[in-house]
């Protein structure tokens, strides 16, 4: 009996995954436990093992395709088995992207489906007798925003008019071009004509180097990058963000770090970093400021009972923020161990989405890169984020020099006023200045 394999949901917040590689192809024998395909969420990478043995009869998506969670991915069954009932019961078959692996049992409706989504209108077909393009204002705005391939848009409005649903239909079929091409199309310049004009306008004997002057490589935005972009855009467009900058005397903090490095090896503390110490201090101070240790969701302030501190980690796949939970209850050694485990998992793509959700506050550290001050962007729906900067030498009133470490606190002014934010920053700076005493509390 044929079995449908669906895309797993790896965490409550995951809506879709991207298939990175197929380990089996249509027609291959599959044993229970064999890896069928590899996939990524916006934060982690996984392999999907087969739950049954048989033959891979059909795939619904190709490498690089984004598949909704719980949507069908492939079918495993016996060789020659009729899978038409499974194909008919899934809309994914009709929406299979061009270039997806062929099915061992092709769907009979496929030719008709292809006819519906294929580009059917050349640019000239959408113009009036006088050469004027018929397109509604809403359709025009949508086309310019999305960069749809206008040659693939089939007009269905009155008198050959392109309307908004026509543009959406082309986008749903994956027909995407560039904004410049849309602008040319709206001016009545078809791609072939634009190329001819470019050739005729070029100098007869242009230097070969001129062709490379404006050369570039176009790289599609990764699934992780798209999620980060969406989150950061929402953060800046929907919040009233304000940043406060302060600095503290890091003399005792640095001295304690030096002591741990020199004599902490026997107690397993030699690898404690400055960032671990800051995470520890933040965990102890956060519970005193419930509006900062919070999320703002649908107009309601969700105050957390524990300090669940996110630590921003730079990875090859983008910025990820795993969460050290209940940081206010943990020792410095425990916070350090958690932070290192989570950071390593984030870089290797081994963390589950749940390990990167539920944060009440975030710490991002650019001090090691020599940044003296910056404006960190809040990780929605949190109400604040702390940026850690590098140390710079400053003079005391008595003329002695001390290392000053900068802190940049961005907060959502909808949920937190300036005075409470400033008090949090001051108390944190005081705790870090006397870090050795903070450990005794």
Catalytic residues: 413, 417
Residue 297: its H or E element: strand 294-297
Burial call 203-216: b when 16+ CB within 10 Å, e when fewer? eeeeeeeeeeeeee
Q: Quick check: helix, strand or coil at residue 137?
A: helix
| Distances, alpha carbon 370 to alpha carbons 232, 365, 409, in Å | 23, 10, 18
End-to-end alpha-carbon separation of the chain, Å? 64
Q: Which of 96, 70, 55, 53 is nearest to 15 (CA)?
A: 70
Q: Could you tell me which residues come within 8 angstroms of residue 58 by beta carbon, excluding any fewer than 6 positions away?
A: 26, 74, 75, 83, 86, 87, 93, 103, 104, 105
Query: What is the residue-wise DSSP string for 319-340?
Result: EE--EETTGGGS-HHHHHHHHH
Q: How far apart are CA 231 and CA 243, in angstroms?
A: 19
Phi-psi region of 142 (alpha: psi -120 to 50; beta: other; left: phi over 0): alpha
Q: Could you tell me which residues come within 8 angstroms of residue 396 by beta carbon, excluding any fewer than 6 positions away?
A: 402
Q: How far apart are CA 255 and CA 435, in angstroms?
A: 10
Q: How far apart are CA 435 and CA 431, in angstroms?
A: 6
Paired tokens of 48:
């999907």
């Amino acid at each position: 009996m044929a079995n449908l394999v669906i895309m797993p949901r790896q965490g409550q917040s995951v809506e879709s995954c991207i298939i990175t590689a197929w380990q089996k192809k249509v027609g291959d024998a599959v044993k229970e436990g064999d890896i069928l395909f590899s996939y990524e969420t916006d934060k982690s990478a996984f392999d999907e093992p087969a739950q049954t043995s048989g033959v891979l009869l059909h795939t619904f998506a190709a490498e690089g395709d984004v598949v909704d969670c719980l949507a069908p991915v492939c079918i495993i069954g016996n060789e020659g088995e009729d899978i038409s009932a499974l194909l008919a019961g899934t809309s994914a078959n009709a929406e299979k992207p061009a270039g997806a692996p062929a099915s061992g049992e092709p769907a009979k409706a496929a030719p008709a489906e292809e006819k519906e989504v294929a580009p059917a209108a050349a640019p000239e077909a959408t113009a009036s007798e006088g050469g004027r393009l018929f397109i509604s204002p809403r359709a025009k705005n949508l086309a310019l925003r999305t960069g749809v391939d206008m040659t693939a848009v089939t007009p269905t409005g009155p008198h050959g008019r392109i309307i908004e649903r026509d543009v959406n239909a082309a986008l749903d079929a994956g027909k995407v071009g560039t904004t410049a091409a849309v602008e040319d199309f709206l001016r009545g310049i078809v791609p072939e004509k634009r190329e001819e004009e470019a050739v005729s306008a070029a100098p007869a004997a242009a230097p070969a180097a001129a062709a490379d002057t404006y050369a570039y490589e176009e790289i599609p935005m990764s699934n992780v990058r798209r999620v980060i972009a969406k989150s950061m855009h929402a953060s800046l467009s929907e919040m009233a963000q304000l940043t406060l900058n302060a600095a503290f005397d890091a003399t005792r903090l640095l001295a304690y770090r030096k002591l741990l490095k020199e004599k902490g090896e026997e107690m397993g503390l030699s690898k404690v970093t400055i960032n671990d110490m800051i995470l520890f201090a933040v965990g102890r101070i956060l519970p005193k400021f419930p509006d900062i240790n919070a999320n703002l969701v649908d107009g309601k302030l969700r105050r957390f009972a524990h300090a669940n501190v996110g630590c921003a980690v730079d990875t090859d796949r983008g910025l990820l923020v795993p969460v050290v939970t209940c940081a206010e209850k943990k020792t410095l050694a425990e916070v350090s161990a958690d932070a290192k485990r989570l950071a390593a998992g984030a870089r290797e793509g081994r963390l589950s989405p749940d390990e990167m959700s539920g944060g009440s506050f975030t710490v991002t550290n650019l001090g090691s890169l020599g940044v003296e001050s910056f404006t960190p962007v809040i990780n929605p729906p949190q109400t604040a984020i702390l940026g850690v900067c590098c140390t710079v030498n400053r003079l005391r009133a008595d003329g002695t020099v001390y290392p000053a470490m900068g802190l940049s606190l961005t907060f959502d002014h909808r949920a937190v006023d300036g005075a409470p934010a400033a008090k949090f920053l001051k108390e944190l700076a005081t705790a870090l200045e006397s870090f050795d005493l903070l450990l005794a509390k």
